Amino acid sequence: MRYPKIRELKEAIRAILKGPYTSEFPYQPHKPYERFRGAPHFHQEDCIGCTACFQVCPAGAIEFKDELRSGKAKRTLIVHWDKCICCGQCQANCPTSKGIVLSQDFEMSTTEEHAALFESIDKEIVLCGCCRDIIAPRDQILWVARRLGALCFSNASLMLFYLNALNLASRDDSLKLHESELLRSDRIKVLCPRCRREAVLKS
């Protein structure tokens, strides 16, 4: 007969007196450790819609869709929790470090289909003032302009966004597709790189 070791006896006695080591989940909520990596969540105010999280996600759990309706565009970012491996690359590579953050949520059981395990966020996209092509999300341009500070005045588009954030410039969303050649005045507009190059060369 094999007798238990002293260490095993001590652990058994400690468990009898203090209770089991394991948590009482699912009967009581389990509180993970502080640095536990759970399901990622978007933060509307801090996300700039740059899709950096989409580019670095190794599991392909993040996707984005650009839609253009009635002259206005929006970008929808989606994170699929059923595909996420909680590696933390999205949070580590987020320019703001707060746009998408891993939470402590780990209980993803559901009676619905796996496709229901997702979270989405919408961001307004800025269109070129001449060709109406997609430039970037509005929050991303404003974030870059604020980071550059006074240096943003070297670019007309960034300058307009910076002044608009300070309520020193009017926001004009009524721009229509250009039907004639670009004029010199068109250089002081929010333009895509192709139209800006054409405006500079032809004006």
Per-residue pLDDT of 9-37, as tens digits, reads: 888 888 888 877 777 777 888 888 888 89
- Inter-CA distances, 187 with 71, 110, 150, 165, Å: 21, 54, 19, 20
* pLDDT > 70 fraction of the chain, expressed in percent and rounded: 88
Tokens of 28: 């009581």
Question: Of residues 203 and 69, which shows the higher confidence score?
Answer: 69
Instruction: Report the C-alpha gap between 151 and 106 in whole angstroms.
Output: 44
pLDDT of residue 172: 56
1-125 belongs to CATH 1.10.3720.10: no
Nearest 5°: the CA angle 187, 188, 190 is 90
Q: Where are the beta strands (DSSP E) in 35-179?
A: 40-42, 62-69, 72-80, 100-102, 118-127, 134-137
- Inter-CA distances, 147 with 135, 140, 169, Å: 18, 11, 19
pLDDT of residue 113: 76
Domain chopping of the chain, boundaries: 1-125, 128-203
Question: Of residues 183 and 197, which shows the higher confidence score?
Answer: 197
Bridging pattern class, strands 62-69 and 72-80: antiparallel
Answer yes or no: is pLDDT of 96 > 90: yes
Within 10 angstroms of residue 78's Cβ, the number of other Cβ atoms is 15
Taking all residues of the chain, what is their mean pLDDT, rounded to a whole number? Answer: 83
pLDDT of residue 186: 64
- The pTM assigned to this predicted structure is 0.75
First to last CA, the chain: 97
HSE-up of residue 173 (Cα within 13 Å, Cβ side):
9
pLDDT of residue 175: 43
Answer yes or no: is pLDDT of 38 > 60: yes
Considering only the C-alpha atoms of the chain, give the largest distance between any 2 of them, rounded to a whole number of Å.
97
Which range of 23-32, 37-46, 106-115, 121-130 scores highest in mean pLDDT? It is 37-46
The arithmetic mean of pLDDT across residues 72-81, rounded, is 93
